[in-house]
Amino acid sequence: MHPLDRIVEKSSRRLAQRTSRRGFVALLGQVLTGSMLLPLLPIDRASRAAAAGSEPPDAASPAKSPPHKTDAGGAPNAASADPQNCEYWKYCAIDGFLCSCCGGSSHSCPPGTAMSPITWIGTCHNPSDGRDYMVSYNDCCGKTSCGNCECNRNERERPLYRLSRNNDVNWCMANSDSNYHCSVSVIMGLAEQ
Amino acid sequence: MRTLQLRAALTALLVSLAGLGDGSAIAAEPLATEPLPAEQFTIQSLPSRSPHWVYVVDEAFYNEIDARVRLFDGDSYRHLGQIDAGFNPGVIQSPDGSTTAVATTYWARGGHGERTDVVEFTDNSTLSIAGEIVLPPKRVQILPTYFNLAYSSDSRFMYVAYVTPAASFGVLDPAARKVLAEIDTAGCVLVIPSGPNRVSSLCDNGRLLTVTLDEHGQEASRALSDALFDPDTDPLFIQGVPDATGYTFLSFLGQVHEVDFTGPQPSIRPPWSLVSSAERGHWRPGGEQVAAINRALGRLYVSMHRGGEGSHKEGGSEIWVFDLKTHRRLARWPMAKSSVGAVVALQVSQDEAPLLFTAGDHRAVAVFDALTGKLRHVDSNLGQSPWFFLNP
């Protein structure tokens, strides 16, 4: 089990022991509401807009460093540094089409689509800098499936009953135009302590 | 004699006409003695239902709003017809086999516009749509399982899983074509039907929530089961398989969890393992529809692959066959990579000379003798993502 997962698991268990189920449901509601609102926060949008606007798609990513050879969890290779490749390090639990092959980038939706306000969260290891990052997987919505760069990776992905770790469900479900187009992986921050 | 003279004269005429054209002589084909009769433009009717038919649910992943269900005959290898299935459909057969129900989503302008969630009923004898129930726009949009949409045992009720992402389910009256109720499931997902009025859902803590309905389809009571599995150490695939008394679920690491749903509450049997201690963690079940059971023979067929964490959607390089009574592995059938592919979905017919259907990762659907493992046929034209099979 990944160290971050272990930490989350421990804290979840402690929380479960301390709180009632109804309390947990209320908390979950708050978390979900929070995650629905998160992409709408101006500061969040501004920082992402700056990141997206100042560089070509993915140019600022550490994955742009010269390719090296690796296997999972080890040193980098060319595929793990290419945002149009399913092996790109940030895509460790994407099951869908890569927005970077559909007019967007690894962290931006293609023109004319809409960002899914709700999301699932994962942890991916960046072999270029040896760090674990918390990433938010979001779907881009409102057009039919892009069909380019199909990617099916499932590290620490879990079935539907563990919704926040599931990549099978359509995360455009809460959008007014809920059709699924493609998926992105957005760095939220370091997963390390 | 007269016909022969006529034919000779016509041949001579054709030859001379051809000669007029380019100066070369060609030999004309003799004409048929009688012209073909006029044809009548009709609609093909389906033959009688066969246990060797299979409904192949094509997710149409590359143009996902256009999923479809193809009816395929495993004996003649013919495509018999198609049912449209929209986007991320849930598909199920009615208990009497007369109806295919499809829970799906359409948008008013094809890929966009106003969303309509609906259950559509298709008459299996004609493959024509016989009716529908419009749903609130809450239907879970996920790959098909037996538990996205379900019938009660007497067909009085239907259940539709909702995830918005809040989890609940809808209770429908298929005869009156209306929605009766929505029941909150406190985060537990999917609709596992049992008896005439019970619905169980899988919970994040590894338990089953069972809601019992009254005669109006409203909640009468609810109960949580003991732990069925540990989602932290060994998650369960949601693709349960119907067995003789309920459903069999497999875990990522190959544990078999059988649940008897014949009583008022689910009864969990002691789990057993598909793999030896040496194989554990190395050989795993995987795919979209990971297993199938022939209930009369008590045989379990599982798609198995070599892999580690994160490989739970990988197709099987082998099919393993088990006896459900003795838990003994009866066979290991390697799948030909080039023709059959890694198996992402499988189904077995329910007769005594069963066929095994597999869908490979390169979209090929293969037909095997389910008693011997002998490959009978491979069809590559049953859709782009044939990831779920239903028996007739």
Cβ–Cβ of A159/B238 closer than 8 Å?
Answer: yes
Least confident range of A6-20, A101-115, B94-108, B111-125: A6-20
> Residue A70 pLDDT > 80, yes or no?
no
Distance from the B136 Cα atom to the nearest Cα atom in chain A, whole angstroms: 13
Question: What share of chain A has pLDDT > 70, as a percent?
Answer: 60
A25-36 residue pLDDT tens: 443 444 343 344
In the prediction, which pLDDT does B7 show?
A: 53
Q: Which of residues B228 and A30 earns the better pLDDT score?
A: B228
- B17: helix, strand or coil: helix
Distance from the A33 Cα atom to the nearest Cα atom in chain B, whole angstroms: 10
Cβ atoms of A151 and A94 within 8 Å: the answer is yes
Q: How confident is the model at residue B31 (pLDDT cuts 50, 70, 90)?
A: confident
In the prediction, which pLDDT does A40 show?
A: 32
Give the pLDDT mean for B45-50: 96
Chain B contact for A158 (CB, 8 A cutoff): yes
Give the pLDDT mean for A52-76: 36
Distance from the B309 Cα atom to the nearest Cα atom in chain A, whole angstroms: 6
Chain B contact for A17 (CB, 8 A cutoff): no
B258-289 residue pLDDT tens: 999 999 999 999 999 999 999 999 999 999 99
Nearest by CB to residue A169, choosing from B115, B140, B236, is B140
Q: How confident is the model at residue B76 (pLDDT cuts 50, 70, 90)?
A: very high
A87-116 residue pLDDT tens: 999 999 999 999 999 999 999 999 999 999
> Residue B95 pLDDT > 60, yes or no?
yes
Cβ atoms of B335 and B303 within 8 Å: the answer is no
Nearest by CB to residue A178, choosing from B110, B115, B204, is B115
Burial class of residue B278, CB neighbours in 10 A (0-12, 13-18, 19+): exposed
In the prediction, which pLDDT does A46 show?
A: 27
Q: State which residue of chain A sits closest to B238, comparing Cα positions.
A: A159
**Which own/partner contact pairs does B239-243 have at CB distance under 8 Å and 24+ positions apart?**
B239/B145, B239/B146, B239/B288, B239/B289, B239/B290, B239/B291, B240/B145, B240/B146, B240/B147, B240/B192, B241/B146, B241/B291, B241/B292, B241/B293, B241/B300, B242/B146, B242/B293, B242/B295, B243/B293, B243/B295, B243/B324
Provide the chain A residues 80-139 that lie in CB contact (below 8 A) with chain B: 92-93, 95, 118
Question: What share of chain B has pLDDT > 70, as a percent?
Answer: 92
Q: Which of residues B87 and A39 earns the better pLDDT score?
A: B87
Nearest by CB to residue A174, choosing from B140, B165, B311, is B165
Distance from the A167 Cα atom to the nearest Cα atom in chain B, whole angstroms: 9
> Residue B323 pLDDT > 70, yes or no?
yes
Cβ–Cβ of B165/A143 closer than 8 Å?
Answer: no
> What count of other Cβ atoms lies within 10 Å of the Cβ of residue B138?
19
Q: How confident is the model at residue B240 (pLDDT cuts 50, 70, 90)?
A: very high
Q: Which of residues B304 and B30 earns the better pLDDT score?
A: B304
Find chain A residues with C-beta within 8 A of B137's C-beta: 178
Give the pLDDT mean for B182-206: 98
Nearest by CB to residue A32, choosing from B61, B88, B165, is B165
Cβ–Cβ of B65/A179 closer than 8 Å?
Answer: yes
Which residues on adjacent β-strands are paired with residue A139? A183
Give the pLDDT mean for B306-325: 97
In the prediction, which pLDDT does A74 show?
A: 52
